[in-house]
């Protein structure tokens, strides 16, 4: 196959064109994101029961749902949240299970529950949608709230007409409602109830077909048409007849207005009332395409908008994606240039060009594979492509180096290409196999962090597979037809080669000789360095963070006040939060380029908090748009800390959290402690103790728990002796519910608008306990005050009850300033000081540490298992190739010693080790083995040629020095630009580049020096059998020939300093 493609005039080029075209066609289909999809598939069961408190929902709904789900296969972690009037059960689907199949199984299980409360709404079962917020457009103008909403609805329809945009929602306005507020005195005057009014409206406001009238020659449809769809029409509707026979209209007992159903649904931008067009995307859509479509749409609307209307782009989570990908693209281009320059130093221009040409061919072929697998272009896949720039050079360099050697031996270019590639094809395939042995297990690591990282080995496998095909089928053809027979070298090339030869013989060669001469000391020193590196990690000298955050342009403050807090009280705290943000901006203004404002926009949304699965006037989110990350001198973390400090404590707040806006990374909360089992009051006390412990550390911020008190409750029950067939507890509950919660009569549609007709008691007549006590209740004896029929007792319950795997759970969470304190040290101290006492005092409760540490442990454990599988597979491949059990262990010796370079490199640059860097180190296992394989093969060939173990080790190290150095140099060159990148966008990836660069540099030295020394030690110990032969075949080998000639002359190969007879022979 190699010879066929090399000699065929068109086959190689046609194949290359096919690879290029498939990649170019696949490129537009790849979505661009910051991270790949790392969230597990989740199915949610939601139930609502108006008026029920959280504990009631937990006992009557959640517990029943958990009972039927516990035995289902394919179900992972089950978490639940019960709130006032609602409950949500989230079921994580195990990897490999089909969502549609699990959805059907869970729905069938829910359908078997027959003892839900009778007046509860039917629970819904649906897969959680994976939508991502892209950007928001704030619209302000001199118009009423009603007109602004209508204008936003028109904009929404126009924006959705664009092909790139599929999801737009309006924030700042709730649904419209024809609100009917009934006067209680009028109800008593006419002996009416809220439910009776609602029934009267339903009975008279009708638009319904009545049938058809058959007439001579034609047929006519008959309809009853008296639908009341305006406030005026509803006011004239007759709801009762007085004792005197006069008609009582709705307007006589109630006011009817067109209003918003939820008053607290409000949005402000820079202090002005606004409406928001929130543009989101599905996981299959491209963020940047959506952003461009929105920008073009707004630009078009500028010309036709009403006077005074202002559009403001806010919460832009997409622009930063382009900045991040552009940064990586620039680093990749510079890395490729450095790789080409490195190749040009060692090869002539044509050979360097064709070797480098394999990069775009391999990349485009890999992009087609990525598209077929559903991968996106994100920071992780781009990182994989950067790593691959150097890695895919390995095979091409090994082949090209051997081809160049045959050229120097006087063979014709085409013959040199075919023989040179064929000669080392086995070693290259073995190297590829060992690399794949490591990458395949790593492509299935577990956990949210693991799902983020697993795309890196997947992409590397794709790139290396395509590069292997290119190296075998395309490169030989190009080399054979473009290279020229070896001529005398030019002056610059001759001097460079002479200098490199000097380094090989006098520097590296003598160093190898010294290591072999003192081989036991050399191996012992390497072991000491390895143990010292382990100690540096265990001792905390090298900092670790599971998954560093990315730097964005949006910072949020999420406020949660106690349930029942009025909108006015929440607004007062929000005003303080906004003022603090602007104060920090003014304080930092002088530090920004050109003294620009650090804060561009401040957007506030009431009735919204992404951390809370609920709504209400006690919730608010303040989003701050900062100066672009590439232009400002302040990080989001620094701004958040100063913002928090400027604000100070928020009295009575359940939680006030500051942090970056947009999609968070996969690591989760820095601090997370779960307390499970027992009564809520007891869990609450323990959670408070945990919070107090963490609060003593200045580095800990935003510490809170998820157990919250609900709205104050009034418990109502019939007095003894007043119950009768005419008034039961159910009748009483129905009348009270209708008076306090209202009755939804129907939903109307007019001019593409949806209106709810809603009847309720006037709010001003039901805002005190006294109003409830005097509430008129209809009995068989007429209207009677509620207070005379029932006891009313004031109490308070919890507003939220959570469960995890069936156990009631309270979770304490918090954030940490890593510059002041390391997370591992903090949680280790907690585990030593407080946690043992809590467990001994509460043996019936369960305590666990979650968040970042849990996610990291899951991923690192999975990564370790994958690494072990990879190492075992490498051993098997090497043992099959080398036909021994000992030599594969010798080849794999470079793997643990690459760790020395990882630790030293990160310590020198002050980098923080991360899960990405750990993956980079594990990936080195497949990389460093490649050089060791070929070095071991050359040692075996030298032994077969008749050389002693010492001579064979020395000659093979010198013979492989050029290729080993070149493969390592190109890999390092491809990553050096990223390693020294100063942009904040690249900070999370710098440790990865650092780990690979320093790990590879260390392993290169160890391969060339330590492996020969260790080989000779094993021959000293008699663990390697004699492999000496007559040398007939090897004497013709262009690399080994000089070594054999030197042996025949009785001199040392290469250095010729002393007789190898001084060393013991096996």
Report whether pLDDT(1059) > 60.
no
Question: DSSP string covering 905-937, please?
Answer: HHHHHTPPEEHHHHHHHHHHHHHHHHHHHHHHH
DSSP 476-528: HHHHHHH-----PPPHHHHHHHHHHHHIIIIIIHHHHHHHHHTHHHHHHHHHH
Is pLDDT at 974 greater than 80 in this prediction? Answer: yes
How far is 580 from 921, CA to CA, in rounded Å?
Answer: 44
Q: Give the pair of three-digit tokens for residue 2.
A: 């190699």
- What is the domain partition of the chain in residue ranges? 2-27+321-484+504-542+856-1062, 40-129, 176-260+711-798, 553-659
DSSP string of 206-220, one letter each residue: EEEEEEEEEETTEEE
Give me the CATH code for the 553-659 domain, please: 3.30.70.1430
Query: Could you give the 3-state DSSP secondary structure of residue 195?
Result: helix
Q: What number of CA atoms fall less than 13 Å from residue 781's CA on the CB side?
A: 8
In this predicted structure, what is the pLDDT of residue 883?
84
Question: What distance lies between CA 501 and its chain's CA centroid?
Answer: 49
Checking phi first, is residue 805 left (phi over 0); if not, alpha (psi -120 to 50) or beta?
A: left
Give the residue ranges of DSSP H helices in 945-989. Answer: 949-979
Strands 782-785 and 743-750: unpaired
d(CA 139, CA 277): 8
- Does residue 90 come out as left (phi exceeding 0), alpha (psi in the -120 to 50 range) or beta? beta
Q: What band does 1049 get if pLDDT is binned at 50, 70 and 90?
A: very low
Q: Among candidates 702, 644, 623, which has minimal Cα distance to 669?
A: 702
* Mean pLDDT to the nearest integer, 506-526: 90
Q: Encode pLDDT of 948-967 as tens digits.
A: 889 989 988 888 888 788 88
User: Where is pLDDT greater, at 14 or 728?
Assistant: 14
Percent with pLDDT over 90 in the chain? 28
The helix-helix angle for 567-588 and 636-647 (nearest 10°) equals: 120
**CB under 8 Å to 346, separation ≥6 — which residues?**
352, 500, 962, 966
- Of 490, 474, 470, 493, nearest to 482 (Cα)? 474
Which are the contacts of 440, defined by CB distance < 8 A and separation ≥ 6?
457, 461, 870
Three-class DSSP labels, 420-473: HHHHHHHHHHHHHHHHHHHHHHHCCCCHHHHHHHCHHHHHHHHHHHHHHHHHHH
| Residue of 637, 647, 433, 442 lying closest to 549 (CA atoms) | 637
Q: How confident is the model at residue 846 (pLDDT cuts 50, 70, 90)?
A: very high
Alpha-carbon span 147 to 258, nearest angstrom: 13
Question: Are 675 and 813 spatial neighbours (Cβ–Cβ below 8 Å)?
Answer: no
What is the chain's mean pLDDT, rounded? 85
Q: Is 564 helix (H, G, I), strand (E, B) or coil?
A: coil
Asked, colleague to colleague, whether 2-27+321-484+504-542+856-1062 and 553-659 share their fold, the answer is no
Q: Which H, E and C letters describe 159-191, residue by residue?
A: HHCCCCCCEEEEECCCCEEEEEEECHHHHHHHC
- The sign of the CA dihedral 242, 247, 250, 251 is negative
> 138 pLDDT exceeds 90?
yes
Q: Is-contact 802 810, C-beta < 8 A?
A: yes
The band of 929, judged by pLDDT with boundaries at 50, 70 and 90, is confident
pLDDT given for residue 486 in this prediction: 59
For the residues 140-148, what does the mean pLDDT come to?
87
Residue 603 structure tokens: 């957007």
| pLDDT confidence of residue 388 | 84
- Write the DSSP string, 2-24: HHHHHH-SSHHHHHHHHHHHHHH
Coil, helix or strand at residue 600: strand
Cα four-point dihedral sign 510, 516, 521, 525: positive
Q: What is the pLDDT of residue 814?
A: 93
Residue entry with tokens 């498939």:
22
How large is the average pLDDT for residues 204-213?
83
Calculate helix-pair angle for 823-833, 680-695, nearest 10 degrees: 130
Average pLDDT over residues 1008-1022: 90
Tokens encoding 651: 């009295």
Give the pLDDT of residue 723: 59
CB contact burial 734-755 (16+ within 10 A = b; e otherwise):
bbbbbbbebbebeebeeeeeeb
**CA–CA gap between residue 889 and residue 874 (Å, rounded):** 10
Mean pLDDT of 201-213: 84
1027: confidence class by pLDDT, cuts 50, 70, 90: low
Among left, alpha and beta (phi > 0; psi -120 to 50; other), residue 740 is: alpha
Distance CA 660, CA 651 (A): 23
Q: Which helix (H) or strand (E) holds 599?
A: strand 599-606
| Contact (CB, 8 A) for 648 and 596 | no
Nearest to 783 by CA among 196, 248, 193: 193
Considering only CA atoms, which of 847, 904, 909 is closest in space to residue 678? 847
- Residue with more model confidence, 555 or 678: 555
In tens, the pLDDT along 255-311 reads 888 877 677 888 999 999 999 999 998 878 888 999 999 999 999 999 999 999 999
Q: pLDDT tens, 107-118?
A: 999 999 988 888
| Structure tokens that stand for 895 in this block | 């793997």
Quote the CA–CA distance of 613 and 635 in Å, as a whole number.
29
- Whether 1029 shows a pLDDT value over 60: the answer reads no
Pick from 959, 964, 942, 940: which is nearest to 951 by CA? 942
The Cα–Cα gap between 683 and 687 comes to 6
If we measure between CA atoms, which residue out of 939, 679, 650 comes closest to residue 810? 679
User: How many angstroms from the chain centroid is the CA of residue 443?
Assistant: 16
pTM of the full structure = 0.80
pLDDT of 831 strictly over 90: yes
Q: Given a cut of 60, is residue 1041 above it in pLDDT?
A: no
- Is residue 999 helix, strand or coil? helix
Spatial neighbors of 690 by CB under 8 A, at least 6 apart, are 673, 675, 705, 812, 834, 838
- Above 50 in pLDDT, residue 1048? no
Instruction: Flag whether pLDDT at 850 surpasses 90.
Output: yes
Among the CATH numbers 3.90.1260.10, 3.90.190.20, 1.10.3720.10, 1.20.1640.10, which is that of 2-27+321-484+504-542+856-1062? Answer: 1.20.1640.10
CATH node for 40-129: 3.30.70.1430
User: Among the ranges 203-212, 475-484, 649-658, which has the highest mean pLDDT value?
Assistant: 649-658
* Architecture field, domain 176-260+711-798: 2-Layer Sandwich (3.30)
Q: Evaluate whether 578 touches 602 at the Cβ level (below 8 Å).
A: yes
pLDDT digits (tens, 9 = 90+) for 581-606: 999 999 999 999 989 999 999 999 99
pLDDT of residue 753: 67
Eight-class DSSP state of 1063: S
**CA-CA distances (angstroms) from residue 435 to 386, 463, 796, 842, 936?**
17, 12, 62, 50, 17
Least confident segment among 37-46, 525-534, 930-939: 930-939
Q: Is 744 helix (H, G, I), strand (E, B) or coil?
A: strand
pLDDT in tens, 818-828: 888 889 889 99
pLDDT exceeds cutoff 50 at 180? yes
SS3 category, 541: coil
Task: Identify whether the C-beta of residue 531 lies closer than 8 Å to the C-beta of residue 583.
Answer: no
pLDDT, residue 1050, reads 39
State residue 832's pLDDT score: 94
SS (H, E, C) 114-150: CCCCCCCCCCEEEECCCEEEEEEEEEECCCCHHHHHH
Reported as a single tens digit per residue, the pLDDT across 905-923 is 888 888 888 888 888 887 7
Q: Tell me the pLDDT band of 487, cut-offs 50, 70 and 90.
A: low
Q: Which residues pair with 269 in a beta bridge?
A: 272, 603
Residue 409 φ then ψ, to 5°: -80, 0
Pure H helices in 696-755:
729-741
């Amino acid at each position: 196959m190699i010879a066929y493609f090399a000699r065929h005039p068109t086959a190689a080029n046609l194949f290359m064109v096919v690879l290029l075209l498939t990649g170019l066609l696949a490129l537009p289909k790849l979505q661009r994101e910051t991270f790949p999809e790392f969230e597990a598939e989740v199915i949610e069961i939601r139930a609502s029961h108006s008026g029920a408190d959280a504990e009631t929902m937990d006992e009557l709904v959640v517990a029943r749902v958990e009972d039927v789900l516990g035995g289902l296969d394919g179900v992972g972690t089950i978490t639940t949240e019960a709130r006032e009037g609602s409950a949500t059960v989230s079921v994580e689907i195990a990897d490999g299970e089909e969502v549609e199949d699990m959805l059907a199984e869970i729905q069938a299980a829910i359908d078997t529950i027959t003892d839900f409360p009778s007046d509860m709404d039917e629970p819904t079962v649906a897969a959680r949608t994976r939508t991502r917020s892209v950007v928001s457009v704030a619209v302000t103008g001199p118009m009423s709230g009603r007109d602004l909403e209508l204008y936003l609805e028109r904009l929404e329809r126009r924006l959705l007409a664009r092909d790139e945009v599929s999801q737009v929602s309006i924030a700042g306005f709730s649904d419209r409602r024809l609100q009917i507020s009934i006067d209680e005195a009028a109800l008593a005057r006419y002996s009416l109830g809220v439910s009776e009014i609602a029934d009267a409206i339903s009975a008279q406001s009708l638009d319904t077909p009545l049938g058809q009238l058959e007439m001579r020659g034609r047929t006519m449809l008959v309809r009853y048409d008296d639908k009341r769809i305006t406030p005026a029409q509803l006011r004239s509707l007759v709801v009762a007849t007085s004792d005197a026979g006069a008609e009582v209209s709705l307007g006589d007992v109630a006011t009817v207005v067109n209003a918003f159903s939820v008053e607290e649904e409000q949005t402000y931008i820079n202090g002005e009332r606004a409406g928001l067009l929130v543009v989101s995307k599905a996981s299959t859509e491209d963020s940047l395409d959506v952003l461009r479509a929105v920008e073009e749409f707004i630009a078009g609307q500028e010309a036709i908008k009403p006077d005074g209307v202002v559009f403001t782009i806010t919460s832009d989570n997409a622009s930063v994606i382009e900045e991040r990908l552009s940064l990586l693209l620039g680093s990749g281009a510079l890395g490729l240039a450095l790789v080409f320059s490195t190749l040009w130093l060692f090869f002539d221009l044509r050979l360097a060009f064709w070797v480098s040409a394999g990069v775009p061919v391999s990349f485009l072929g890999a992009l087609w594979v990525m598209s077929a697998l559903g991968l996106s272009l994100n920071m992780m896949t781009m990182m994989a492509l950067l790593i691959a720039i150097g890695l895919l050079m390995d095979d091409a360099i090994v082949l090209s180096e051997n081809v160049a050697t045959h050229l120097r031996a006087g063979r014709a270019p085409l013959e040199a290409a075919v023989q040179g590639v064929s000669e080392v094809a086995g070693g290259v395939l073995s190297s590829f196999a060992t690399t794949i042995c490591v990458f395949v297990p790593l492509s299935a690591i577990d956990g949210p962090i693991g799902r983020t990282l697993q795309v890196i080995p997947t992409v590397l496998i794709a790139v290396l597979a395509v590069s292997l095909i290119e190296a075998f089928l395309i490169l030989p053809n190009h080399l054979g037809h473009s290279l020229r027979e070896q001529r005398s070298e030019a002056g610059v090339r001759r001097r460079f080669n002479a200098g490199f030869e000097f380094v090989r013989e006098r520097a590296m060669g003598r160093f190898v000789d010294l290591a072999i001469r003192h081989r036991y000391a050399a191996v012992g020193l390497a072991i000491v360095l390895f143990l010292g590196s382990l100690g540096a990690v265990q001792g905390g000298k090298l900092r670790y963070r599971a998954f560093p955050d990315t730097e964005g342009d949006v910072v949020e403050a999420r406020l949660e006040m106690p349930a029942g807090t009025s909108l006015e009280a929440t607004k007062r705290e929000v005003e303080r939060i906004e003022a603090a943000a602007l104060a920090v901006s003014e304080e930092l203004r002088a530090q920004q380029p050109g003294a620009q404002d650090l804060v561009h926009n401040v957007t506030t949304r009431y009735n919204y908090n992404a951390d809370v699965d609920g709504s209400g006037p006690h919730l608010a989110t303040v989003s701050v748009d900062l100066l672009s990350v590439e232009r400002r001198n302040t990080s989001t973390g620094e701004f958040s800390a100063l913002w928090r400090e400027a604000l100070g404590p928020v009295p009575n707040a359940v939680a006030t959290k500051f942090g970056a806006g947009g999609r968070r990374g996969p690591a989760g909360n820095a601090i997370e402690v779960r307390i499970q089992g027992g009564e809520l009051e007891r869990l609450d006390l323990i959670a408070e103790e945990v919070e107090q412990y963490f609060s003593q550390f200045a580095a800990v911020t935003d510490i809170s728990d998820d157990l919250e008190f609900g709205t104050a409750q009034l418990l109502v029950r019939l007095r003894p002796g007043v119950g009768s067939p005419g008034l039961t507890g159910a009748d009483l509950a129905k009348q009270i519910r209708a008076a306090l919660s209202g009755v939804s009569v129907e939903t109307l549609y007019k001019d593409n608008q949806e209106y709810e007709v809603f009847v309720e008691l006037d709010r001003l007549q039901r805002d005190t306990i006294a109003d409830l006590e005097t509430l008129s209740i209809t009995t068989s004896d007429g209207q009677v005050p509620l207070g005379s029929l029932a006891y009313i007792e004031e109490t308070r319950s919890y507003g939220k009850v959570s469960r995890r795997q069936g156990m009631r759970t309270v979770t304490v969470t918090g954030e940490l300033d890593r510059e002041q304190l390391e997370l591992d040290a903090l949680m280790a101290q907690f585990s030593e000081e407080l946690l043992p006492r809590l467990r001994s005092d509460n043996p019936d409760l369960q305590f666990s540490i979650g968040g970042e540490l849990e996610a990291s442990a899951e991923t690192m454990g999975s990564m370790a298992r994958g690494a072990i599988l990879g190492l075992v597979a490498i051993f098997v491949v090497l043992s099959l190739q080398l036909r021994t059990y000992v030599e594969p262990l010798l080849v794999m010796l470079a793997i643990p010693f690459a760790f020395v370079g990882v630790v030293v490199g990160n310590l020198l640059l002050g980098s923080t080790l991360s899960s990405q860097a750990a993956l980079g180190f594990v990936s080195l296992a497949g990389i460093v083995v490649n050089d060791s394989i070929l070095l071991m093969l050359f040692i075996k060939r030298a032994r077969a040629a008749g050389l002693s173990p010492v001579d064979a080790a020395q000659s093979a190290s010198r013979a492989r020095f050029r290729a080993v150095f070149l493969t390592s140099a190109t890999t390092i060159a491809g990553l050096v630009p990223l390693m020294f990148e100063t942009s904040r966008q690249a900070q999370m990836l710098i440790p990865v580049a650092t780990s690979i660069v320093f790990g590879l540099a260390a392993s290169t030295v160890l391969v060339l020096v330590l492996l020969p020394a260790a080989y000779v030690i094993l021959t000293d110990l008699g663990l390697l059998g004699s492999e000496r032969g007559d040398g007939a075949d090897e004497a013709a080998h262009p690399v080994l020939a000089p070594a054999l000639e030197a042996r025949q002359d009785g001199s040392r190969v290469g250095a010729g300093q002393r007789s190898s007879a001084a060393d013991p022979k096996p």
